[in-house]
């Protein structure tokens, strides 16, 4: 498979290594130094694009791929106010678009168990819910897309909760998310239910970027010959 990497930071380089290990060809890499070369690529020379950039550029990159019939896997976070536009464009172009806030198989199992736990805990309103995420200091968006996805999973089972706030802000009808940026932490996410009597925690702690990169390449493989908008639940059949 011919893969175009849009975003060539730490994640892009790790994806490159994994893709080559899986016998794929990297036909190009795009970063801030050569964004003008994106126009060289279309569905005649690319089988899939994997996009990991910044909130400011993600939507334009996705839009370019969809307009040029390139199946695109996007892992950028912080741009989801434009997600519906990308979805509509994908459908109008009969394209293929795969989005996840986190491509780790382990994290997506975490999402699955998070929703299951929320479905049980909503019967016990004496437990206060909070979410915490910790990442490396180079991660620009707060909170992480993974933390927001985690909260969305909880909210689907709590009719009295209406979104989230970034701690230290608090609101009775919202879930507080604590975001920390420390050293080279790859990514830690925790859901906490706390009452006067006890505490329940669900934790995912990433040890390296390899799991995220492997999931992104798997998504690009899975997306071949498909049309529509997809996510990790589709690929993992969760």
pLDDT tens, position by position, 38-62: 999 999 999 999 999 999 999 999 9
Full domain range(s) for residue 199: 105-206
Q: How far is CA 119 from CA 22, 77, 115, 229, in A?
A: 38, 26, 6, 26
Q: Rounded to 5 degrees, what angle do the CA atoms 109, 137, 35 make?
A: 90
Angle between helices 210-223 and 105-121 (to 10 degrees): 90
Q: Are residues 32 and 49 in the same domain?
A: yes
Q: Which of 132, 135, 161, 204 is catalytic?
A: 135
Segment 177-187 mean pLDDT? 94
Does residue 139 register a pLDDT over 90?
no
Q: Are residues 175 and 130 in the same domain?
A: yes
139 is catalytic: yes
Q: Are strands 187-194 and 128-135 parallel, antiparallel or unpaired?
A: antiparallel
135 is catalytic: yes
Q: Which of 10, 136, 139, 157 is catalytic?
A: 139
Residue 33: closest CA among 53, 60, 63, 59: 53
Q: Are residues 125 and 114 in the same domain?
A: yes
For residue 15, what is the domain's CATH number? Answer: 3.40.50.720
Number of domains making up the chain: 2
């Amino acid at each position: 498979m011919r893969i175009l990497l849009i975003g060539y930071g730490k994640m892009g380089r790790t994806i490159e290594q994994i893709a080559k290990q899986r016998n794929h060809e990297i036909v190009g890499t795009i970063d801030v130094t050569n964004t003008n070369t994106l126009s060289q690529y279309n569905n005649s020379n690319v089988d899939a694009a994997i996009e990991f950039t910044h909130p400011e550029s993600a939507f334009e990159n996705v839009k370019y791929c969809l307009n040029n019939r390139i199946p695109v896997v996007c892992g950028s976070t912080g741009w989801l106010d434009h997600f519906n536009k990308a979805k509509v464009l994908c459908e109008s172009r009969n394209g293929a678009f795969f989005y996840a806030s986190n491509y780790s198989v382990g994290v997506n199992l975490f999402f699955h168990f998070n929703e299951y736990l929320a479905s049980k805990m909503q019967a016990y309103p004496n437990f206060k819910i909070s979410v915490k995420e910790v990442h490396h200091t180079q991660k620009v968006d707060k909170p992480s897309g993974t933390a927001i996805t985690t909260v969305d999973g909880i909210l689907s089972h709590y009719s009295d909760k209406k979104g989230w706030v970034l701690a230290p802000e608090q609101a009775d009808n919202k879930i507080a998310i604590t975001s920390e940026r420390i050293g080279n932490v790859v990514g830690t996410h925790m859901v906490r239910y706390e009452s006067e009597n006890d505490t329940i925690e669900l934790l995912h702690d990433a040890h390296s970027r390899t799991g995220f990169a492997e999931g992104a390449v798997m998504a690009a493989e899975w997306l071949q010959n498909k049309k529509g908008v997809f996510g990790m639940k589709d690929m993992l059949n969760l």
